[in-house]
Amino acid sequence: MKIVFLDRDGALIEEVDDGKIDTLAKLAYKPGVFEGLRSLREAGYELVMVTNQNGIGSEEFPWENFDRVQDALLQKMEEQGIRFFDVCICPHMPEDGCECRKPEIGLVKDLMWDCEMEPEHSWMVGDRSTDVEFGKNIGVRSVFLKNERFELGEELKNDPEVYEVESFLDAVGRILKS
C-alpha cells in the first residue's frame, strides 16, 4: 500500500499562535487542501493523519474541545469526498517521553506492517523538522511546507529525500511527480 502521512496543524489546517486549535473559530483550512487530498486519493494513495496534540486531556485542553474541532474537520473532509485511512493522535507533552510523539513512530508502527506499506512509494508531509524526521524514521520521503513559524533543520535541507515547497498543492504536485 502506498501511503501519504499528513501532519494536521500547519499542513492541512492553519497553525495558531498558542499551538492549540481548541475552538471552531480557530479552525481554518489550508488553501487547496481538499483538491490536493482528492488528487492523492485518485492517484491511489491512502491518507493517514499523524498529529502531535500537546496535553489533550489536561485542564487547559480537554478532550471535548479537541474532539469538537477534530469531528468538524473530519466531517468537512467527508463532505469534500475525502476519507482518511487512519487518524493517529499523540496527546502527550514533550516531557512525557512517550513513544508516539513524532518523530517517534509508535503511532504508525503496527499500521505500517499490517498494511504492507511500500516505503519507496510513500510520503510524509508536514511543517516542522520533527515531521521530516518522522518521515525518515519510517523510511519514506518527506515534503516540508515552508512557513513563517518553523525552519527545516540544516542537515535535513541537504537531504536528497527531503523536498521543501511553498504550498500544500506544491507538496501534492511533488508527490504525484514521483
| Residue 133 binds to Mg ion (criterion: CB under 5 A) | no
Q: Which class for 102: exposed (0-12), middle (13-18), buried (19 or more C-beta within 10 A)?
A: buried
The reply to whether 9 belongs to the active site is yes
The three cell numbers of residue 98 are 512517550
Tell me whether residue 1 or residue 98 sits nearer to Mg ion (CB atom): 98
Q: Considering CB distances under 5 to 8 angstroms, the limit depending on partner class, which of Mg ion, Zn ion, none binds residue 13? A: none
CA dihedral 1, 85, 125, 45 (to 10 degrees): 40
Residue count at the site for Zn ion (CB under 5 A)?
Answer: 5
| Residue 10 binds to Mg ion (criterion: CB under 5 A) | yes
Cα gap 22→139, rounded to integer Å: 32
The three cell numbers of residue 149 are 513559524
Tell me whether residue 100 or residue 125 sits nearer to Zn ion (CB atom): 100
Cβ atoms within 10 A of the Cβ of 170, count?
17
Cα gap 37→34, rounded to integer Å: 5
Contact with Mg ion (CB under 5 A) among 22, 104, 127, 133: 127
Report 57-116 residues binding Zn ion (CB under 5 A): 90, 92, 98, 100-101
Question: Smallest Cα–Cα separation from 132: which of 167, 170, 103, 111?
Answer: 103
Tell me whether residue 33 or residue 107 sits nearer to Zn ion (CB atom): 107
- Choice among 9, 22, 127, 131 that is catalytic: 9
Amino acid at 163: Y
Contact with Mg ion (CB under 5 A) among 3, 6, 9, 162: 9
The reply to whether 7 belongs to the active site is yes
Give residues in contact with Zn ion (CB under 5 A): 90, 92, 98, 100-101
- Judged by the rule CB under 5 A, the positions of this chain that interact with Mg ion are 7, 9-10, 127
Supply the residues annotated as catalytic.
7, 9
